[in-house]
A and B are shown apart, each in its own frame.
Chain A
């Protein structure tokens, strides 16, 4: 059985894993060496990184929320009423 660094399936798995945790340095180096040799895994890596970029939350942080967007007074009252009646049912004091 050859080393995983020569196996695109195993490399692609580690490329994905590297997006979720810090891989040991030697593993990162092996991935890097594989990517130098393999255009499809390079493409795979670029595309799954793009997939991350496409996701909306990466452009949404607390500072980007519009301060003018607020619950209407009616909505607030309706939610309070729902919470009160739900509290009464679950016997929790509100």
Chain B
């Protein structure tokens, strides 16, 4: 979080926290509800966002608007909330994947665990709550920084530079983290969603 507040420095004089709730409260709340689908949690996250902004206010130097700054803080809060929520659900989960990236390949670099076929209609999959639950549970099984890098990139649309600032890594490291995350998630979905639905349908 400190990286966000240090990264952005002030151009907007509107840094009076008293005005934040009226100006940005509804926008941030809508944003959080759209992602979390839980109004009580969304309220809490908006409040936490304002509190974090209050603490980091002095270091906000305004290369972006206050709205963008607050949104960036909220995005981190949402990612942290989702990781924590699904982490708790998979603590006792026996479905694990032990392969590292090296484990997916033979020594000569050819596939050892080959990507299987995914038979489904991608346009319909989003509507299935169980699928999203599986995706988030797979994310929760990843190492913290890999899942955070993936969520910031693919769910919040962060650029490489923003991910590097948020996680304090080099661009090359961020690409490696995202590669590992994608390798794992692809396999995890294959095992715990696509193969399972195939079994159920056969």
Which residues of chain A have a CB within 8 Å of any CB of chain B?
6-10, 12-13, 16-17, 19-21, 40-41, 43-44, 47-48, 50-60, 64-67, 69-71, 75-76, 78-80, 82-83, 86-87, 90, 92, 94
Sorted from nearest, which 5 A-B pairs have the closest CB atoms? A7-B109, A16-B179, A9-B109, A55-B154, A65-B30
Q: Contacts A8-B109, A71-B25, A76-B21 hold; do A82 and B114 have CB atoms under 8 A apart?
A: no
Option from B54, B116, B118, B174 in Cβ contact (under 8 Å) with A87: B54
The residues of B with any CB-CB pair to A shorter than 8 Å are: 16-18, 20-22, 25-27, 29-31, 33-35, 43, 46-47, 50-51, 54-55, 57, 101, 104-105, 108-111, 114-118, 122, 125-126, 131-132, 135, 153-157, 160, 171, 174-176, 178-179, 182-183, 185-186, 189-190
Residues of A within 8 Å of B27, CB to CB, are 65
Contact yes or no, A92 B155, CB < 8 A: no
Say whether B153 contacts A20, CB under 8 Å: yes
Q: Complex Cα distance A41/B57, Å?
A: 47
* Partner pick for B57 among A50, A64, A92, CB 8 A cutoff: A92
Q: Which residue on chain A has the smallest CB distance to residue B120?
A: A50
Residues of chain A within 8 A (CB-CB) of B51 are: 82-83, 86
- Which residues of chain A have C-beta atoms less than 8 A from B35's C-beta? 56-57, 60
Interface pair A56/B132, CB less than 8 Å apart: yes
Interface pair A79/B25, CB less than 8 Å apart: yes
Question: How many angstroms between the C-alpha atoms of A58 and B47 in the bound complex?
Answer: 25
Query: How far is the CB of A70 from the nearest CB of chain B, in Å?
Result: 5
Determine how close the nearest CB of chain A comes to the CB of B156; give it in whole angstroms. 6
Set of chain A residues within 8 Å of B47, measured between Cβ atoms:
78-79, 82
**Residues of chain A within 8 A of B179, CB atoms compared:** 12-13, 16-17
